[in-house]
Amino acid sequence: MTGQHSNREEEGKLVFLRMAEKHGLALIPGSLDINESGMDFQVAFAEDEEGQRWVLRKPRRSDVWERAENESKVLQVVRKHLPAAVPEWRIVTPELIAYPLLSGEPIASVDPAAGGYAWQVPPDRLPEGFFDSLAAAMVALHGIDHGEAVKAGVRFRSPAEARAAFAANIEEAKAHFSVPAKLDARWNAWLGTDSYWPEHSVLHHGDLHPPHILVDRDQRVTGLIDWTEAEIADPGKDFVILYALFGREGLQDLLRRYEQAGGRTWPRMSDHIAEQWAAYPALVAKFALTTGKEADLDMARGMIANWNVDLVDWNAD
């Protein structure tokens, strides 16, 4: 089995090298490493003959390329406004996306063996500068003019459309999976309670989990990568994974920094974000239905069946 795995890995590297060469990018074969942790892209890192490090992304499915086209439009807009760097795509095709590696390192990487993240710094020891610089980047992103973004082709959802999209996603999950009554009741209460919901949309990243947040040696945010889920829609979405990682107290602290930096909030923003986390299994279900892979469907079934609703404070009044 080890030999077969090694052969597949070498074949995968050859595919990347050939695709890069096809598009005029000469890479040093021995410098190429593949990262398989991404659900949407197979990713490789390599060095060219001039010493420049590159990121290579190969879409795993046709639907990924459709969203990557939106990502390309998003990047053209956000790079002009953010205090953090974003990728500059040099090769953009359905078979390969490539860009020079940004400076900085992810604040954490996926650790498949441990089933979680491998952090640069333990999350409870992250410095003030990390949270301040993250809040500043989010405020700059969320403040980008909608007209400019829409003109560039970025997807737009009004607050009502974003709410309807959450509802449709949940209905699709319920149509294909068995949802426990308590979880179903919580989803319905959230969808039906106006006070949770914002009256504005923002241009959001959509997938702000630690491997997509680059930092310098002082753990200040220097870059944001992997913008596949970006669109103008619900402003709570960029806080959901951060809430899952840092809890209600950590979320309140980040929202305070966000508001102080000029971010727009509303009275039940933290509650709304908590409810989005409670609805996270519906997003996983949508992903599984998109890929159609039995392993992904099993993951969605297990998450829905075992999701601990009581882990998140529920104020559905």
Query: Mind telling me the catalytic residues?
Result: 207
Distance of CA 81 to the CA centre of its chain: 19
Query: Which residue in the block uniquely carries the two structure tokens 């106006």?
Result: 194
The Cα 307–Cα 278 span in angstroms is 8
Tokens of residue 107, six digits? 């604040």
144: closest CA among 201, 197, 88, 199? Answer: 201
Please give the sequence-ordered ranges of beta strands (E in DSSP) within 181-316, or none if there are none. Answer: 202-204, 213-215, 221-224, 231-233
The Cα 152–Cα 296 span in angstroms is 34
Backbone angles phi and psi of 51, in degrees to 5: 90, 5
The H or E element that residue 315 is part of is: none
Backbone angles phi and psi of 162, in degrees to 5: -65, -40
275: closest CA among 174, 207, 197? Answer: 197
100: closest CA among 62, 45, 58? Answer: 45
The Cα 253–Cα 62 span in angstroms is 39
Residue 314 near residue 185, CB atoms below 8 Å: no
